[in-house]
Amino acid sequence: MLTRNGIALTVLCGILVAAGWFLGVGDLYYPAAAGASLLVVALGLVWLRPIGIEVIRTVEPARVPAGDAATVHIELRNHNRLGTPVLELGDQVSGTDGTRMLVPRVARGSSHRARYQLPTRRRGRICLGPMVISLTDPFGLAKRRFGIPITADLTVYPRPVDTGPPPLTMSVDPRSHAGSATRVSVGGEDLYSLRSYAPGDDLRRVHWPASAHSDDLVVRQEEVAWQSHCTILIDTREDTMSPAGLDSTVEIAAGLVLGAAQRSNGLRLCTTGGYDSGTSAGPIQRAHCLAELAVLTTGPGKLATLLAEIDGPDRRPTTLIALTAALNAADYAQLARLAHRTPLFHFVTDTALHTPVGSLGGYSTVVNPADAAGSVRSAFAARTQVGRARRW
């Protein structure tokens, strides 16, 4: 394709030809022919020149808290028999106009490295690519573009508020077959019961004396340690939670997720918008929860439905930490009833659209936007004993 200079030269050649024909001045054909020849040469240099460029893009790190630096590294390797001319490389970045950079000549068998910074001021997911390499002739008259369909993502987590670990609620590990929870040694070697061997069981757990008197292998079932469970509920209803309030809410939730990970708590994250991570523990659960917080938005939903599910007949002992906007009378009454059966910490994180209804009671706290960490920590300290796990 022609550049702006190429189009201008084409128009000029046309004008010279037309003027020479109307005025009968044959000398005007010579500069027109020279311009046309230059255009042909430029197009030939662009379209006939092979480009054997391999592009490798990496993002370091792939996940960052909001405000931290994230760098895109680009490496161009020349596999052609000739050196490359000066190239223009463009990379699309969601939420921005993208980036453009000039790549100097790359000799045969050599490579060139470049990098640029990504905007990480706000939480969310930044999508990169596809990339475009543009080759321009030395006269700047013609350009050829090569699309490179490589993409990458950067997840910008919300910057966590230092809330500290949430209070502990002790219950049996849901992955075990035990009907009650009892304390065991740290090593986990106490014998709880015997059961039949199942495919996938570790052969080191086979109880050989019992297996000798049975028609099948019998394995040891170790006693199950108590697990601490924590459920984080986030109100994402668009009619109660403002976008700015949601941003501060997810920052508090991110701090709670990281705090729960410090104690290896069983963690569950659920929202009024329908997301439910399920109860699990470990770095994978933490990463899933933080990734959801990064892209969480306001929308339709019902708080009453979610509270009824948490308070259902098959409920498991858990510490419920509700992060909501200011509630209406009906939602507040249901939350107050739930507080009598479930360890509950209720934090009002946004009052932009409504004001709290009635007395907040001993389990609810209006978070001070200027000191969110202090508000949460004070509420935890007021209802728990420092250094000891509380049992309900």
Burial of 37 (0-12, 13-18, 19+ CB in 10 A): exposed
For 46-65, give one letter per residue: b (16+ CB within 10 A) or e: beeeebebebebebeeebbb
Q: What is the pLDDT of residues 272-315, one digit of tens each?
A: 999 999 888 888 899 999 999 999 999 999 898 898 888 776 66
Number of domains forming the structure of the chain: 4
Say if residue 379 is in the same domain as residue 230.
yes
More confident residue, 358 or 70: 70
Q: 323: closest CA among 171, 161, 193?
A: 161
CATH code assigned at 349: 3.40.50.410
CATH code assigned at 96: 2.60.40.10
Highest mean pLDDT among 168-172, 207-211, 212-216, 334-338: 334-338
Residue 48 reports pLDDT greater than 60: yes
- Residue 390 domain flag: no
Q: What is the pLDDT of residues 199-256, one digit of tens each?
A: 666 777 787 888 777 777 877 765 444 456 889 999 999 999 999 999 999 999 999 9
Mean pLDDT over all residues of the chain? 83
Q: DSSP alpha helices (H): ranges in 98-242? A: 208-212
- Residue 301 domain flag: yes
Residue 359 reports pLDDT greater than 60: no
Residues 331 and 240: beta-carbon distance below 8 Å:
no
Residue 192 reports pLDDT greater than 70: no
Peptide bond into 138 cis (omega under 30): no
* Both tokens assigned to 367: 């978070």
Say if residue 303 is in the same domain as residue 209.
no
Distance CA 387, CA 392 (A): 16
> Which residue range is the domain that position 303 belongs to?
226-383
Q: How far is CA 243 from CA 240, 298, 325, in A?
A: 10, 7, 11
Highest mean pLDDT among 123-127, 148-152, 357-361, 379-383: 123-127
Q: 235: closest CA among 251, 249, 256?
A: 249
Q: 50: closest CA among 150, 144, 147?
A: 144
For the entire predicted model, the pTM comes to 0.75
